[in-house]
Chain A
Amino acid sequence: RLPEHVQVDDPAALKKLAKKLERQQVPLRSDYGYKVSLFSHLHQYSRKSPPTLQISIPATVIHPSIVRLGLQYSQGIIAGSNARSVALLHTFKQVIQDYSTPPNEELSRDLVNKLSPYISFLSQCRPLSASMGNAIKYIKKEISNIPSQCKEEEAKGKLQACIDSYINEKIILASEAISKYAIEKISDGDVILVYVWIHSERKFRVIVVDSRPRLEGREALRRLVKKGIRCTYVLISALSYILPEVSKVFLGAHALLANGYVMSRVGTSQIALVAKAYNVPVLVCCETYKFCERVQTDSFVSNELDDPDDLIVTRNGKSHLENWQTVKSLGLLNLVYDVTPPDFVDLVITDLGMIPCTSVPVVLRVKNVDQ
């Protein structure tokens, strides 16, 4: 079934969504600004109008920590798939803590129903990422597996423990395992190019590549400088200038798709392309909980459009795009993700080991068998 957030150009789907949200008492967020025609099937929201504006305080249907989380998502305060998933799981722990089973209801069924409007609200604030989707699937499965004789306190404790172990295993320990594997790949005196954050320690020089409009590389740069690693900082347009001195490229991933494509922050495919042209190895670091069964071949069909006003910038006292809304034929496109074909990626480092890109469906099958 096609997810709702890629059917914005279908009026029937929009009506269905509006009805569902009305039933759940979740506000519907409206699109903002002129959308480029190639992306008319995606939402485009403005940061200046968060969905929380339309909720009455105190919110009756939606738990307050979910409202806070939704606001943090929509304003970009919590960004990055790991951070978002961890925040989501912690908030669900809070929700489970405050939950009390109504009489004549079973916890395993009622709690799942309670979570549905929360999830709708969060996806209105910002479309769910693949990692968040996997986490939610896991929680729902755990909840429905609670036996009916279980007492409420015990059930809640069990669920909290499940969530804690999920965070610990799949996210925290996974990144440590990935770091260990990644360190093996780094030799002394290497020059590494990073596009997202990874932590390790050996004598090497790091080049941080950053791109507008998010400029997330600045945070990575700050952490690296604090650790005392020699760093260089460039914008993504200077890639051809800096690549001849790079020995390896490390990239992070938002999700790994079943056909081997890597879905990641926009610009990643560009870095992989130019690295390939200069014969520099490209390594992708990705935890297994981000693997997903979807397949995708281009960056258009399923993506996210960020606030177009982020592209506006002032240079020499002038900002040319300030009144872009008034110009009829002008559109701003602020893509969030893009997909990298597997032939650009040499190795994927996961918590299960180092695998080629094309082994993603194997890992998924093994995981399903385990569960």
Chain B
Amino acid sequence: MPGADKETELSERIEAFLSELKRCGSGAGSLRGSAETARETTSLLRRITAQARWSNAGDLMEIIRKEGRRMTAGQPSETTVGNMVRRVLKIIREEYARSRGSTEEADQQESLHKLLTSGGSSEDNFRQHFTHLKANVIEAINELLTELEGTTDNISMQALEHIHSNEVIMTIGRSRTVEAFLKDAARKRKFHVIVAECAPFCQGHEMATSLSKEDIETTVIPDAAIFAVMSRVNKVIIGTQTVLANGGLRAVNGTHTLALAAKHHSTPLIVCAPMFKLSPQWDSALQELVLRSFCFLLPGEILSKVNAHCPVFDYVPPELITLFISNIGGNAPSYIYRLMSELYHPEDHEL
């Protein structure tokens, strides 16, 4: 039966995606960038919308929430998956509201007024059936996909506004966004880049070779020399894994030290992060530790008697950050909370 085939095919795809997430998470370093993960998640959600059985918006949201919970449980540190699920849920809410005729924006702006006057919960339980809802939602998801595909280009387009000639720029580790950003600026201007290698995985080496191939003057330094050379650096430009709701970052380990050194020398710290990295969740207990990497650093008989720690991420507080550059432009860290309320609905923060 065609319906059952479609369903099994759909669940197969979901399973494949989940196992891919788990596999990437357990490998050393990320085998795929967050942009790719975001695109794949969104395509999968579009497929679910198209092929799953649902009759009204409430059902669809339940299905997507359920799948979203499974996907985030597969790899909790990859927050883009959860972010995309929340974006799609917001799309569904908006399309539903538009089909009903009421405008969602008015509700948002007068939320305080609503709190005082309405008192009870809204009677919006998404049970009304609309024939064109499916088509509208799928079209909106397609728009989201187009936006995702253009994020890196949108960010790189702003490069020349922030980099002048003969600058010394410092970065850490490997970020595809920052790489594209710097390469775009290098087409018109000459500047110098210092890359901190970010032990023990040393992703900085890959970044440096890739930048130097575009004729950018690059220098690789070990992590210990970050403060020593910071006095000659004009700007620090970094990427991040997640942008948190308070404007802080969850970035690769060593970033907090870099941010403190930049603060000490009053060097601006610029974060290039597309909007799909913005996450309303803060899991302070989640701190991935990777112990495997120490096998090649310490001999076995010592390793068995000591505690070796190798955290993957650092938390950087918003006071140390100067500017966020995203696909919708530049923002101060104090504005991030507002951007977040435009992207996600408060009821979706907890999936």
- Interface residues in chain A, defined as those with a beta carbon under 8 Å from any beta carbon in chain B: 36, 38, 210-213, 215, 218, 221-222, 225, 231-242, 265-267, 269-270, 273-274, 277, 298-300, 311, 313, 315-316, 319-321, 324, 327-335, 338-339
Contact = CB atoms under 8 A, between A and B. Distances in A.
Contacts, number: 166
Given A225-B302, A329-B217, A236 B308 contact: no
B209 interface: yes
B256 interface: yes
Nearest to A323: B209
A330 B229 contact: no
Given A232-B307, A240-B256, A212 B226 contact: no
A232 B306 contact: yes
A211 B224 contact: yes
Contacts of A211: 199, 222-224
A242 to B, nearest CB: 6
Interface string B286-301: 0100000010011000
Nearest to B316: A240
B32 to A, nearest CB: 15
A321 to B, nearest CB: 5
Interface in B9-29: 28-29
A14 B226 CA distance: 31
Contact of B219 (A232, A238, A331, A339): A331
A103 B219 CA distance: 56
A235 B218 CA distance: 24
Given A212-B199, A215-B297, A273 B209 contact: no
Nearest to A335: B225
Contact of A233 (B197, B220, B309): B309
Contact of B212 (A36, A238, A299, A327): A327
Given A267-B224, A320-B205, A332-B220, 15 more contacts: A38-B229, A211-B223, A212-B200, A221-B306, A234-B308, A235-B199, A236-B257, A238-B253, A241-B311, A311-B197, A328-B212, A329-B212, A332-B219, A335-B228, A338-B227
B129 interface: no
B302 A311 contact: no
B104 interface: no
Contacts of A316: 28-29
15 contacts: A218-B298, A231-B307, A233-B306, A237-B223, A240-B257, A241-B309, A267-B224, A267-B225, A274-B256, A277-B260, A299-B228, A311-B220, A320-B205, A331-B220, A332-B219
A238 B224 contact: no
Given A232-B309, A237-B253, A330-B208, A273 B261 contact: yes
Question: How many B residues are at the interface, by size bracket?
Answer: 35 or more
A296 to B, nearest CB: 12
Given A222-B302, A240-B257, A311 B287 contact: no
Contacts of A232: 306-309
A234 B294 CA distance: 9
A38 B218 CA distance: 12
B182 to A, nearest CB: 12
B210 to A, nearest CB: 9
B231 A298 contact: yes
Q: Which of B209, B212, B222 has the most CB of A within 10 A?
A: B222
Given A234-B310, A237-B199, A329 B216 contact: yes
Interface string B176-215: 0000000000000000001001111110011011001101
Contacts of A233: 294, 298, 306-309
